[in-house]
Structure formats: structure tokens, C-alpha cells
Chain A
């Protein structure tokens, strides 16, 4: 009934038809727009791509073999080995590159599994609602309530340690949050008028989900994925550090783990401990910045400019004297 206009919409009207009217819809080339408008997004994505590039190009750029000692244990950084050597005399830079490969793969894989499980549950619960929603959400709640670390420890202890088990464990920890986020998004996406219209046209549920709801929440899904990757990588590092990872695999977490086990710190070998930690921190930060930038762009109503002082600019009219005081 009547027209809804608030100032933001009036500006949109004044500009003439243009993008930006939707709430979760950023426009066709949303990625490009988010990147161009946010420095945070640019930096985050750049950091991520940097690490991914290194991981992909690893076989070609790794300076030394990770299984062959090239010097004494804990040799300090030098021109040949900018980050020194670890306790086994292996070049740290090569270790980091190799570790990055595995850590990223584990992180991505765990996120993928979590998204498939959590996303699937979220879509079903959010779209169909009713009893399936209640049942699925109760199951999710139970999993949320179980303490993460003891669960991981028990599973690793009982099942044995390997990379695929690790991926599974991490996914188990992650899917619940994903399910909740996806469910909320699907629920709200389902209420959009054009979705109701598609239903009244007689479109099948599958069609509506895949053609209308999912694309609509696409950008937010991407943000969720990116942020989940950050958590997955952190979880991997933590679990491996605690000794629950695959002992034969080289990951950033295992590098730190061995450094601690082999008393790197008391040997003063900071280069064996800090660089891998920094790598993890940077990747997480990159994911975070990129993911949050997408989220922020999707929520124009979170704009809190009204909380800032009302200093709009004042311009003297041409021909009048500038005001004093």
C-alpha cells in the first residue's frame, strides 16, 4: 500500500533506474564491484591468490627437496636459506611451500565437504520448513553442542590419523555453522516475491531452488565459503599441532608441531616456529578480509553513517559572499 521511500531509495530514484535495489543482490558482476569498491577485498583476495599460486606452482619453485637435509639442524637464516633450516636440516622455505600445499588442500577439501553436508541440510531445512526443518535443526543443534576438541581427539584416537580422516573431522566441526547460515539465507530467499511467483506458476521445487534461490544467495554463499576456509585452515593447524594429524604429512601445523617437539624455541630457532605461524595467520586474514568485504557489500542497511556526526558540506551559492563564523 503506497510507496516505500527512504532516503537511500530516493537517491536511487533520483539517479534513475540502476543497480542496488535488492537486498542480497549486488548485480551481475558483483565480484567485480566488491573488489573495485573495497581495498579490504583487494588485499584479502591478493593474499589468498598469492598463497594459492605458490601452492600450485610448488613443484617448479621449490628450491630444495623436503626430504633431503642440506645442512646442520637449526641453521640460522642465510642467503642460501632465507628462513634457515629445521631440526632435520631441511630448508624452511621449501618446507613452507610444501606445507602450504597440504594445508590449503586440507582446508579447501574440508570446506567442500562441510558445504555439501551443511549446505544440503540448510537448503532442505530452509526451503521446506515444517517438520523436516525441526528435525534437521535439532540434529544440527546436537552437533553444535558437542565440544569440538574432545570430539576431534576421540575420533582421531579411535580412527587413526591420516589426512583424509583429518579432513573429515574438520568438516564435522564446520558443517553445523554452515547449515545454519545457509538455512537462514534460503529461508529469507524463499520469501522473495519472485520466488512465490515461480511457485504460483507451478515451477518444481528443484527448479526454484536452483534457478532462483541459490543464485540469489550466491554472493553470500561465496562469502560463507571463504570464511569457512579460514576456520578450516585454522582447525587443521591446531589439530595437527596437537598431534592429531597425519604424522607423515607436511603441513604448516606439523611444522610448528615438530618445532615444539624438537625444542626449537629453547634452541633459539625462531625461524622454525614463527614463519609457519605467520603463513597461517596471513591466509586466515586474507580469507577474512575478502569474505567480510563481500558480506559488508551485501548489507547496505548495516551502513551506520547515521551514527556519525552530521557534517554534510555547505556550499555558498554563486554570487554570495562566503559566510564567516
Chain B
């Protein structure tokens, strides 16, 4: 049932909740014995190859891109599940790039992740109550058992699983996919985080339940303090629910701006092509798709110059040598990394 929800402006201003500068994350590719014998130079997967982004409280940023573009790696790096090679990550003004895992523990409260697979992200042995309680036990929060129980019920109410009593004693396998994802969100919320990273939160759910979970996330961040980075390959979802979209290609952000602008007036050739091939649900809507040939190259072998130039339909000679930076396209808010952008 379609409901009307407000799409007013989000609380702007104030220091950024999350600030990432020039982040690089690399994985070494194992050469193996043959490689070592042949003395091949070590190869790296340049998963995140110079990304800067920022997120304000109450904002939802969508990271969009195809597989291998680095969107998942950057989420893991921000959460310090993976260590960056260089660059800085600042959470609520504090630099967390080089903190040890022990120092990070209390900070982990404030940044949480929602995973793609609702069937896998909950421990099948734990009841819903125990699953939501666990974060509190890990961080020794919540006081006595009664206080914790109240927080659990509260968390369930925030994710629209009411009456809570109906869900507290269930096991994950007794819940539907959408309900499981809501429980996963509740386990994240119970610690009152300020940053939520949602990795494809609805792609494994049935179409009919996706909007419910997305609206839940949308509502949570409008509450005020929570910022959400949503990773998705689905441009339509990003367009409808996010404030800003950042399009990634081979470890870099190639275009970034307010969601509406990026979708209606894309400035980077990759974004244009991507948008043109998204299938439309109206059969009468037959715009000519701009299908790029081949697939993105291996992140171990990033092309010289502009990394998109081998597949770019409007590439020029200079694109082979110039590696463009993000620069304003329509406005300061809307940026694209292309030499053709004035």
C-alpha cells in the first residue's frame, strides 16, 4: 500500500559525521610458487584507489557501482574491518584511521553494518531477544536485565516489529526475510549508532517487502543523528531513497551529487551509460540503452589515464593520459571526474 511520506530537506549544517580523505585500500594478490620463481612483480588489487567522501548526520548517501568497483571494500575500510594503505577516516571529528583494534572497540558502538543476506546475518542458534541483547553484552551496556529488556523491546518497536512479545522468542528461521532484516537492523540500533552502513540491504528480499525496509531506514535517519551509507547496485532504489549518490568505478568515485541531479542530469559518461541501461517498468518506455561492451577490467590492471577510457563512448586522445579529478559539474554539490566536464 503506497503511503505518502515527506520528502522534505534533511537537517543540514553541522560538522560531518563521517569524513573520508584520499582513501586507498589494496590487497596483495598471491603470486604462488610459480610467480615467485619467475620473479613476477607483485600485483595488487587496487580496491579503493583514492576516495574522498563525507556524510552529515541525518543524511543518506548511496554508493552505487558494479561488482569490483570497490563499494563493499570502502564500507569495510570505513568500519576498520580492513586496514587502508593510506588516507584518513574521521568519525565525528575523530581520526580513527590508525587506532588499534582494542582502541576501536568502544568506537564500534557508533558505527554499525547491515548485511545483504538476511538469512545469514543472524546466528541461527540465538532467539531474537538474545540476538538483540548480544551487542549490549559485548559493550557492557544497558545496566540490569530489566533495563536491557526494555531496550530490546524498544529496538523492536523502532523497526516496526510489534507487538514485541510476538517476536522475542522466535528463532531466525521462523521469520520471513523482511522480518529477519528488520531484526538485523534492530541489533544495530540497540547501541544507538551514529553511522549505519547498509550493504545491499534489500537485494535479497522479495520486491513486495523492499520498500518497507527501505522506508524504515529512511525514517531512522530522518530522526536526526543517524547517517546512512547505503551500498547498492540498484540505481532506482538509490534515486528514490538517498539524498546523495556517489557512482564508483574501479575504486574511484566518478560522479557525486544530489540524487535527483545525478539521475536526471548525469555528467560522467559512465553514469549516463549506467542509467540508460536500467530497465524501465513501463513497457512503453523504450529509450535506447547505451550498452557498453565488455566488462570493467580487473582491479589489478587499472587502465592508464582515465580508468574508464577503454570503454568510454566519448573518449578522446587526452583521456589516455589524463587522470581526471572530481570537479564541479553543475554546481559545487554535483561533481564528476571527466575532462569533458568544464
Contacts and interface: CB of A to CB of B under 8 A. Distances in A.
Q: Do chains A and B touch in the complex (CB under 8 A)?
A: yes
B203 A2 contact: yes
Interface stretch (B104-112, B264-272, B274-282): B104-112
A319 interface: no
B92 interface: no
Interface in A257-293: none
B125 A199 contact: no
Contacts of B200: 1
Contacts of A204: 138
Contact of B122 (A4, A194, A200): A194
B306 interface: no
Given A200-B81, A202-B139, A193 B108 contact: no
Given A2-B203, A17-B174, A193-B117, A200 B108 contact: yes
Given A200-B81, A201-B135, A202-B104, A28 B171 contact: yes
A28 B233 CA distance: 36
B105 A194 contact: no
A18 B173 contact: yes
Interface string B299-332: 0000000000000000000000000000000000
B121 interface: yes
Interface in B104-138: 104-106, 108-109, 112-113, 115, 117, 119-125, 134-135, 138
Nearest to A204: B138
Given A17-B176, A28-B125, A198-B134, A192 B120 contact: yes
Contact of A194 (B81, B120, B233): B120
Given A17-B176, A193-B115, A215-B125, A202 B109 contact: yes
Kindly name the residue among A20, A22, A207 whose own CB sees the greatest number of chain B CB atoms within 10 A: A22
Given A2-B203, A193-B115, A202-B139, A212 B123 contact: yes
Given A202-B109, A207-B138, A197 B104 contact: no
B36 interface: no
B108 A201 contact: yes
A202 B176 CA distance: 27
Contacts of B12: none
A198 to B, nearest CB: 7
Nearest to B118: A193
B99 interface: no
A3 B117 CA distance: 9
A189 B300 CA distance: 29
B204 interface: yes
B292 interface: no
Contacts of A193: 115, 117, 120-121
B123 to A, nearest CB: 5
A194 B67 CA distance: 22
Nearest to B120: A193
A201 B134 contact: yes
Contacts of B203: 1-3
Contact of A19 (B117, B173, B176): B173
B79 interface: yes
B175 interface: yes
Chain A interface secondary structure, helix, strand, loop or mixed?
loop
A202 B108 contact: yes
Q: Is the interface of B mostly helix, strand, loop or mixed?
A: loop
A200 B120 contact: no
A202 B81 CA distance: 10
A237 interface: no
A203 interface: yes
Given A21-B119, A216-B125, A200 B79 contact: yes
B334 to A, nearest CB: 27
A27 B122 CA distance: 14
Given A17-B174, A21-B173, A199-B81, A194 B123 contact: yes
Interface in A2-31: 2-4, 17-22, 25, 27-28
A91 to B, nearest CB: 50
A276 B139 CA distance: 57
A218 B79 CA distance: 30
B204 to A, nearest CB: 6
A201 B119 CA distance: 18
A25 B126 CA distance: 12
A193 B122 CA distance: 8
A18 B109 CA distance: 32
Contacts of B184: 197
Contacts of B138: 198, 201-204, 207
B26 to A, nearest CB: 18
Nearest to A218: B125
A197 B79 CA distance: 11
A196 interface: yes
B69 to A, nearest CB: 13
26 contacts: A1-B200, A2-B203, A3-B203, A4-B204, A17-B173, A17-B174, A17-B175, A17-B176, A20-B173, A25-B124, A193-B117, A193-B121, A194-B120, A194-B121, A196-B81, A197-B121, A197-B187, A198-B123, A198-B138, A199-B81, A200-B113, A201-B134, A201-B135, A202-B139, A203-B138, A216-B125
- The 8 A-B residue pairs whose C-beta atoms are closest, nearest first, are A202-B108, A193-B120, A202-B105, A194-B123, A193-B121, A203-B138, A25-B124, A201-B135
Given A19-B173, A194-B121, A204-B138, 19 more contacts: A1-B67, A2-B203, A3-B206, A17-B175, A20-B173, A21-B119, A22-B124, A25-B125, A27-B173, A193-B121, A194-B120, A198-B123, A200-B108, A201-B112, A201-B134, A201-B138, A202-B106, A216-B123, A216-B125
Interface of A: 1-4, 17-22, 25, 27-28, 192-194, 196-204, 207, 212, 215-216
